[in-house]
Structure 1
């Protein structure tokens, strides 16, 4: 049975006369926060690209770009990451959709943000419309976001504060970033990083996200440091091992720990 609408049209007839131009059509982009550990696990690094075109030309930004008509947002994120930095086969998880009307000076653009976690910070190269791609040291605390690369001579700092917003009957806390350095990130990429880190830290204890930053086989001391880098604080050894016990299994061999430099049992994710 074919149903008709109030104008007497079947779905086929409705679609034949439908005009997409009758409605606003915002553009859609993807942006990716890519994190990787330093070689000695002493800190985190974030991947940025230097924009080669307006707007925000010569500004550092998260990798990203427009979604093509024949691809999903995930496919666009993977493609843009490969085109702009050379990275591929990296874990990606959707974070949030950023849709403030004035977030892009060109036109109405909504961005679907992803976080990407890499076991290492591998060499990268600029490509497509990115002049450069580089790994930056990354610090994220309750009151500061700091991104810097001493070799390039760039430091980007935002002060973080908490504001409360009403959502129905609930007042909830939201972290707001204020630029404190001469250099800034393009668009609203500071907001994307903040929201990505909040989501990551909220979910880290009951998901397998941190394992995306570990090697396929890892020691428990190394895995614990990865958790601590992402959380921003230390963990008690016994509590940590209880937290991950049901997710890991021994490999049956030992290897030197990156952080302890001692032979330790190797494990893998179940």
Structure 2
């Protein structure tokens, strides 16, 4: 059943900020796509697109991620709505923004149906972006920095098994500051949220470090009892 509204309404889109941690360079990166269509054809942008009739924004965000980058089943969280009337030159478009956290090496850049190209960029050195996507990226980074200090989402940027050094490097890259090694390890281990796998790194030139896993089940159990993650 169709319906005609008395007043014009803005269009609705979703935009996704995809973060990954490059362990080789010790830096946080963002996955961008090169637009294949106008406006801003050929410019780099965040993956995203219009919400279809009959789908909610969560479904739309995951669909756009897969259509433009090939990403599936990743950590995805809504963080803000951007609604400036002139943010899109075509018409008044409201965008619901999400950030995603992925293990960097597990997700090589892949341009899919709606993009010319896809590539990882350092968050400190992104090219000029289409629309207001630089504002969205900066806002997402601020939200991620705050969230990582109060929830263990940093583990989403790591492979299932990791060293304590890699974990510290993730936090330093996101927070943009150097952390004291002894204090960081003492604090993270005191939370009793890590499982020692009994394994060590393989094929490394230096002394092989122990590999750990995040105990998500224990965290959820502790959280129900009032536990608060804090770094």
Please give the secondary structure, in 1, of the residue aligned with 2:211. strand
Equivalent residue, structure 1, for 2:181: 237
Please give the secondary structure, in 1, of the residue aligned with 2:159. coil
- Is the counterpart of residue 57 in structure 1 residue 41 in structure 2? yes
Q: 1:253 aligns with which of 190, 198, 202?
A: 198
- Following superposition, the deviation at residue 45 of structure 1 comes to 2.1
- Is the counterpart of residue 132 in structure 1 residue 117 in structure 2? yes
- Is the counterpart of residue 81 in structure 1 residue 65 in structure 2? yes
The separation in 2 between residues aligned to 1:102 and 1:242, in whole angstroms, is: 49
Contact 2:33 2:111 in 1 (8 A): yes
Equivalent residue, structure 2, for 1:175: none
Equivalent residue, structure 2, for 1:98: 82
Please give the secondary structure, in 2, of the residue aligned with 1:194. helix
Contact 1:221 1:257 in 2 (8 A): no
- Following superposition, the deviation at residue 68 of structure 1 comes to 1.3
Contact 2:26 2:170 in 1 (8 A): no
Q: Aligned pair in 2 of structure 1 residues 75, 197: CA closer, same or farther (>3 Å)? A: same
- Following superposition, the deviation at residue 250 of structure 1 comes to 2.1
- Following superposition, the deviation at residue 239 of structure 1 comes to 2.6
The separation in 1 between residues aligned to 2:160 and 2:175, in whole angstroms, is: 21
TM-score, with normalisation over the residues of structure 1?
Answer: 0.72
Equivalent residue, structure 1, for 2:31: 47
1:179-218 residue pairs with structure 2 within 5 A?
Answer: 184-218=128-162
Point out the structure with the larger helix share: 2
- Following superposition, the deviation at residue 30 of structure 1 comes to 0.8
Point out the structure with the larger strand share: 1
- Following superposition, the deviation at residue 39 of structure 1 comes to 4.6
Unaligned residue ranges in structure 2 (runs of 5+): 216-231
The separation in 2 between residues aligned to 1:111 and 1:247, in whole angstroms, is: 39
- Following superposition, the deviation at residue 73 of structure 1 comes to 1.1
The separation in 1 between residues aligned to 2:178 and 2:23, in whole angstroms, is: 19
Equivalent residue, structure 2, for 1:263: 208
- Give the alignment's Cα RMSD to 1 decimal: 2.3
Q: 1:27 aligns with which of 11, 17, 37?
A: 11
Contact 1:115 1:196 in 2 (8 A): yes
Equivalent residue, structure 2, for 1:178: none
Q: 2:165 aligns with which of 216, 221, 229?
A: 221
The separation in 1 between residues aligned to 2:150 and 2:91, in whole angstroms, is: 39
The separation in 1 between residues aligned to 2:31 and 2:114, in whole angstroms, is: 16
Instruction: Point out the more displaced range, 36-45 or 250-259.
Output: 250-259
TM-score, with normalisation over the residues of structure 2?
Answer: 0.84
Equivalent residue, structure 1, for 2:228: none
Deviations 1:159-207, CA, capped at 9 Å, x for gaps? xxxxxxxxxxxxxxxxxxxxxxxxx200000000110011111121111
Flag the structure with more relative contact order, 1 or 2, with Cα contacts below 8 A and sequence separation at least 6: 2
The separation in 1 between residues aligned to 2:51 and 2:131, in whole angstroms, is: 17
